[in-house]
Amino acid sequence: MSSSALLILLAAHLAAGEATSTTTLTATPATLTNPDHAVTLQWSNLPDPGPLDYVAVYSPPTSGDLNYLGFLFLNSSASWATGAGSVTLPRLPDLRAPYQFRLFRGPPGQNPRVDQDGGPLPDASRRAAVSGDVAHEGSGARPAQLHLAFTDEADEMRVLFVCGDGGRRSVRYWPAAAGRREEWEEVPAEASTYERRHMCGHPANHSVGWRHPGFVFDGVMKALRPGTRYSYKVGNDLGGWSETHSFISRDAEASETIAFLFGDLGTHVPYNTYFRTPQESLSTVKWILRDLQALGDKPAVISHIGDISYAKGYAWLWDHFFEQIEPIAASTPYHVCIGNHEYDWPSQPWKPTWAADTYNGKDGGGECGVPYSIKFRMPGNSSLPTGTVAPDTRNLYYSLDAGVVHFVYMSTETDFTHGSDQYSYIKADLERVNRSRTPFVVFQGHRPMYTSSNETKDAAHREQMIRHLEPLFVEHGVTLALWGHIHRYERFCPMKNYRCLNTSSSFVYPGAPAHVVIGMAGQDFQPSWEPRPDHPDVPIFPQPQRSMYRGGEFGYAKLVATREKLTLMYIGNHDGQVHDMVEILSPQVGADDGSPGKLVGALPGKMRYLGIAGGVVLALLLGFMAGFAVRRKKKAESAGWSPVQDEES
């Protein structure tokens, strides 16, 4: 065969997307064993390498060239220009199917396909080499993605995990101080899953985004002794057991509560994909793990208030997420509430006219709450039909007691207005709170009631929350309201109908909750703070008087509460240190009648003087505010800015 014919044949192979015999691509090891999840890719004999040549990641290996999980440009290797090099992919989770890697030549000139940041996306048209398959040892059979949650019973703990088949699995658990076989308890775990037809839109129901989620197993450990460390593992003898983990059981009489709280974490993947994934989410998990380990045998709870994995219809990102949080979630109850990136889709059941700009129908990537509803199981039984063939949306609103704090979770994505099921639940739940047992109430939801972010499209939503929910907060003594959605940290003073009740960072509960936005756990794309309207050309972003502290650093919140005091701290990922703190002192619980949901005005002996002093300060403050309002009318709120504390300044 002539040289010209060989060139024609080679060009035909490239055009057809077939591997050539000259370029090689290898992936090692062929089998991934725990905890080794790293794959090294090596290539050689790549002629005329270009800066847009890349390796794409696939699972399962039968995926079409355009249905990649992600990709890495070869120029991330120092030797790429020689036509040979290597890259390493760490933390590849078990997707219950082998991985395969394919090397492609980048197109000449500018790639017309771009991601959300304007970066080039592969068009998979010029395949040059294909690797062998790489699989996890025991792939699909061995349990993965373990995470705990409380149930409605104080002496139980739920564990959820994923396997590739729906065969019988169990949970074995025992007091950690024991270990003899006769002290083990074993309970069955129930399996559930969902299908591609349950997805509500692109990319979740398209071949580019859909991957089978496996089977989610749900097992409940029962009759646990209060405040006791238990060991457990999940699986079966045939497919294998997970590693042994441990947790501290709940103690209803505990006099202290410790919680780690955040929103909008997301997950980071070690390759480029269809949108940017937040590397800061790794730091958040790392610092929380540090804090959990320092607690020793003290129990804690984790609270993730919406926008969980940011999979947005790309199913394997859920696998990355659960692999990422397992070091903390397999030992500490991990509680969630739903956000827009789990739920919103065009035909969602509740979309009032005032929310046309709020619920835009695209944020969920076609998932319509299904993965969220199956992969998590929270207390209570709240649910809402999707109106499609998909299963009902679950885990919408619920509450739980942990030590001295009553935690309430809501859904900001479904109807919360007066007369709705959710409103009725919240009202009844707050009325039932036993303040002698849980003197503090912490309310949580995704979209905030108060923020100074320039997130104008949610303005109507915030007004509706203040109108319908804030009166309940005030009437029933909610201590603290925590929100996500805004990817910053911002602490407000105790608020009542836009009015600030106390500007101190340590105060006796004044009759309304302090509001704190804690959506700073990982995601970074975010509108700026609200600018001053009289500076359109040179923006100034002043801090309103009701905003006590706001910062742009990533991080999380830590809550520590005793019967006398609740403390909330903002810990920054950049140094692992506390950067803001608020202390809320509790009024005395009405112990005489034991009535739930009631607070009395009397203060404990040592706190009575604090109450008197606080009252004087509050009276002076209210007098000043009233006079100020008379002078400046309504414009005072937008123009009367005062930078109290600002991490960015």
pLDDT in tens, 19-56: 445 999 999 999 998 766 799 999 999 999 998 899 99
Q: What CATH number is associated with residue 343? A: 3.60.21.10
The average confidence (pLDDT) of the chain is 87
In a domain, 8, yes or no: no
In a domain, 287, yes or no: yes
Residue 234 and residue 218: Cα distance in Å, rounded? 10
Q: Most confidently modeled of 240-249, 517-526, 531-540?
A: 240-249
**225 shares its domain with 123:** no
How would residue 179 be classed by pLDDT, with cut points 50, 70 and 90? low
How would residue 527 be classed by pLDDT, with cut points 50, 70 and 90? low
Q: Count other Cβ atoms within 10 Å, centred on residue 108.
A: 9
How would residue 618 be classed by pLDDT, with cut points 50, 70 and 90? very low
Residue 357 and residue 365: Cα distance in Å, rounded? 17
**70 shares its domain with 160:** no
Final residue of a structural domain among 78, 108, 136? 136
Q: How far is CA 640 from the centre of its chain?
A: 35
Is the Cβ–Cβ distance between 513 and 494 less than 8 Å? Answer: yes
- Residue numbers of the domain that contains 189: 144-589
Does the pLDDT at position 8 exceed 70? no
Q: Beta strands 480-483 and 514-518: pairing type?
A: parallel
Q: What average pLDDT does this structure show over 98-115?
A: 82
Residue 87 and residue 73: Cα distance in Å, rounded? 9
Final residue of a structural domain among 136, 169, 189? 136
**305 shares its domain with 408:** yes
Q: How far is CA 334 from the centre of its chain?
A: 10
How would residue 625 be classed by pLDDT, with cut points 50, 70 and 90? very low
**312 shares its domain with 388:** yes
Q: pLDDT value at position 539?
A: 64
**84 shares its domain with 222:** no
Does the pLDDT at position 336 exceed 80? yes
Helical segments of 273-368, H only = 280-295, 316-329, 340-343
Does the pLDDT at position 515 exceed 50? yes
- Burial (CB count <10 Å: 0-12, 13-18, 19+), residue 421: middle
How would residue 357 be classed by pLDDT, with cut points 50, 70 and 90? confident
**123 shares its domain with 159:** no
The SS3 of residue 175 is: strand
Q: Count other Cβ atoms within 10 Å, centred on residue 84.
A: 17
Residues 6+ apart with CB under 8 A from 138: 239, 240
Is the Cβ–Cβ distance between 60 and 164 less than 8 Å? Answer: no
**243 shares its domain with 354:** yes
**344 shares its domain with 239:** yes
The SS3 of residue 529 is: strand
**194 shares its domain with 91:** no
Q: pLDDT value at position 634?
A: 38
Q: What average pLDDT does this structure show over 409-432?
A: 98
Does the pLDDT at position 12 exceed 50? no
CA atoms within 13 A on the CB side of 474: 14
Residue 395 and residue 416: Cα distance in Å, rounded? 14
Is the Cβ–Cβ distance between 483 and 305 less than 8 Å? Answer: yes
Q: What CATH number is associated with residue 29? A: 2.60.40.2840
pLDDT digits (tens, 9 = 90+) for 117-157: 777 788 898 999 999 999 999 888 999 999 999 999 999 99
**384 shares its domain with 316:** yes
Min mean pLDDT across 171-175, 272-276, 492-496, 528-532 is at 528-532
Min mean pLDDT across 305-314, 328-337, 593-602 is at 593-602
Q: pLDDT value at position 478?
A: 98
Is the Cβ–Cβ distance between 265 and 308 less than 8 Å? Answer: yes
Final residue of a structural domain among 86, 114, 136? 136
**120 shares its domain with 199:** no
In a domain, 620, yes or no: no
**98 shares its domain with 231:** no
Query: Which two structure tokens, joined as six digits, stand for 226?
Result: 């209060």
Is the Cβ–Cβ distance between 157 and 151 less than 8 Å? Answer: yes
Does the pLDDT at position 330 exceed 60? yes
Examine residue 60 and say whether the peptide bond preceding it is cis (omega within 30 degrees of 0).
Answer: yes
Overall domain count for the chain: 2
Q: What average pLDDT does this structure show over 588-594?
A: 44
